[in-house]
Amino acid sequence: MNEKIETDILIIGVGIAGGTTALKLADAGHNVTVITRANEPKKSNTYWAQGGIIYTSPDDNPDLFTQDILHAGAGHTYPKAAKILAEEGPAVLKEILIDRVNVPFDLNKDGELDVVMEAAHSVPRIIHATDATGRAIEIAMLNVIKDHPNITLLTGHTAVDLLTTNHHSKDRMSLYEPPSCVGAYVFDRKERMVKRILARKTILATGGLGNIFLRTTNPKGARGDGIAMAYRAGARVINTEYIQFHPTTFHHEMAPNFLISEAVRGVGARLVHEDGTPFMQKYDPEWKDLAPRDVVARSIRQEMIERDIPNVYLDLHSYVDQSEIKSHFPNIAERCMAYGIDISKDLIPVVPGAHYSCGGVWVDEWGKTSLDQLYAVGEVACTGVHGANRLASTSLLEGLVWGARAAKDVANSLGDAPSINETIPPWNDTGQFEPDPLLIGQDMSTIQHVMWNYVGLVRAGYRLQRALRELRHLETEIERFYRVSQMTDDLIGLRNAVRTAVIVTTAALANKQSIGCHYREDAVE
Ligand code: SIN
């Protein structure tokens, strides 16, 4: 087993953003190494996206789309980034998803793409593949990626840390040169060893951080790996207090977190208590259940606190035709049924959950981070598009557009990039102890509870300070334990989760105003 791998281009993660970068570069004739921590690569954040992806329609235009993005972003969106997304999005979507990987988007009765409306969009512009758009995209993309002759896909490989000249090089003089990313230390789960992947260009595409919260719509792997690694490597990380919470995550003792799409309320379902009484009219008499996402999520929280109840419910069957339920939501129906909930006749238990990180690793319009030769694309990155709050269905498109842009920049600048850095030593394996899964589970659960209760939907300075004290103490313990333990994927995730939790909490404490999805009950105007 070779401990060292050399590659021109290393991509960490294979959701829509990493997949797009890989595909564009490989199609242009470059050899690319893609790693994913999943043994089954399709289970990325992209895979679980239910809503749709923004395309366009005859009533739409880039200016209108830009305005909608800026409006959602609560004055904090970077207009240049919003404009890029609006102007380039439809063409990139057509080129990659429709023409290159042939995603089976739903068609209307005339055989054309079925374009629908979503909350906070001025016109219909969203296309979908029933209620499992992300899954359709990920499967189509991976079908092409896994057989591409220019792509080496390494599954079951978890990035441990980014390699930088100033942190890792044996050449002492590199300390005086500008820092640069030269690849990553990567844990091969099957061989149980840490390898060096030395690369001339590295692209982070690790997805989000929802799983550092107790309730989330994200899969288990969304534990802030990319943000923590980039932070340790010295890259700028911004806007991390802006965590978008989704109002409706399926709530069942035995079930993993999963999203119940906003589209369910879009067709008429209502939020109710166990006896079927709706409550949203109390909080927003005009929009009721279709009030903005953050308003609905905070209202649910308030009901849960006041009534001391673990969840509220979505009532679909009292308000929506059976035929519509079946045709629109086959995936949600199947997943709920696995836990004994028949959405055509039962109430669906739901709670709010962390959904999307609007901030992340700062990148420019080409996906370049502040660290030389390191790029970031997708949810791990912060392009400025989402500002302080994200417009629904923009994230897949952002992954696509910045994935393609990063590929273009990498291809254009590869000739000038430094050659493989040979001064990086093999991993120094000091870990002797088998990590105790109970300890890892307990620490992860502490992080999730602290984040949910003190850094969640409604924040206040005294709670954030308390969270920071607890998280810092925990981080010291975890870091000590990490140094003496044998490597596992869970241990890597725990270390990243606590670092990301500290980053998010520090940002939330520093921002004393309520803006977008960062809501402080002690806000100063
Ligand atoms: C949803 O389907 O409710 C989520 C879609 C999104 O967040 O873009």
Per-residue pLDDT at 42: 63
The pLDDT of residue 47: 75
* Ligand 1 atom nearest to CA at 293: 3
Q: How far is the CA of 131 from the centre of ligand 1 (A)?
A: 10
State how far the Cα of 174 lies from the Cα of 45, in Å rounded to an integer. Answer: 37
Is the residue at 218 inside a domain? yes
Tell me: do 282 and 222 sit in the same domain. Answer: no
State which of 329, 352, 375 marks the end of a domain: 352
Same domain, 412 and 321: no
Kind and range of the H or E run holding 160: strand 157-164
116: left (phi over 0), alpha (psi -120 to 50) or beta: beta
Active site residue 293: yes
Length of the chain: 525
Domain endpoint, select from 330, 352, 374: 352
**Shared domain check, 304 and 219:** no
Minimum-distance ligand 1 atom for the alpha carbon of 244: 7
Q: Domain for residue 481, yes or no?
A: yes
Residue 10 placed within a domain: yes
Whose CA is closest to atom 5 on ligand 1?
A: 51
Which pLDDT belongs to residue 1? 60
pLDDT score, position 54: 96
Question: Domain total for the chain?
Answer: 3
Question: For residues 316 and 336, what is the distance between their CA atoms, to the nearest angstrom?
Answer: 13
CATH of the domain at 501: 1.20.58.100
In whole angstroms, give the CA distance from residue 429 to residue 450: 32
Residue tagged active-site, from 135, 215, 223, 293: 293
User: Is there a single domain that holds both residue 164 and residue 193?
Assistant: yes
Q: For the chain, which residues score pLDDT lower than 70? A: 1, 41-45
Compute the distance between CA of residue 369 and CA of residue 381 in angstroms, rounded to an integer.
Answer: 9
The verdict on 289 and 394 lying in the same domain is no
Range of the domain at 198: 4-51+85-104+130-241+358-416
Helix (H) or strand (E) holding 450: helix 437-454
Residue 117's pLDDT is 85
Q: Kindly state whether residues 209 and 317 are assigned to the same domain.
A: no
Q: Which protein residues touch ligand 1 with a CB less than 6 Å away?
A: 50-51, 261-263, 392-393
Q: What is the pLDDT of residue 49?
A: 74
Q: What is the CATH number of the domain that holds 339?
A: 3.90.700.10
Indicate which residue's Cα is closest to atom 1 of ligand 1. Answer: 261
Query: Are 274 and 292 members of one domain?
Result: yes
Q: What does the block give as tokens for 384?
A: 């400025």
Clarify whether residues 139 and 215 are in a common domain.
yes
Could you report the per-residue pLDDT of 235-284, keeping only the tens digit for each? 999 999 999 999 999 999 888 888 999 989 989 999 999 999 999 999 99
Task: Give yes or no for a contact between 375 and 204, defined as CB atoms under 8 angstroms apart.
Answer: yes
277 in a structural domain: yes
> CATH number, domain at 46?
3.50.50.60
Q: Are residues 171 and 316 in the same domain?
A: no
CA of 480 to the centre of ligand 1 (A): 39
Residue 48 confidence (pLDDT): 74
Among 308, 332, 352, which residue terminates a domain? 352
User: Model-level pTM?
Assistant: 0.96
Residue 78 lies in a domain: no
340 lies in the same domain as 405:
no
Residues 266, 412 within the same domain = no
Residues 224 and 266 in one domain: no
| Residue at 75 is within a domain | no
Q: Is 99 a domain residue?
A: yes
Structure tokens at 209: 């951080």
CA–CA distances in Å: residue 444 to residues 44, 296, 314, 487: 20, 28, 29, 16
- Beta strands at 360-362 and 381-382: parallel, antiparallel or unpaired: parallel
Contact 220, 256 (CB under 8 A): yes
Residue 288 identity: K
What is the reported pLDDT for 431?
Answer: 84
Q: In this structure, is residue 125 part of a structural domain?
A: no
pLDDT at residue 50, as a whole number: 75
> Which tokens is 109 given?
């009765």
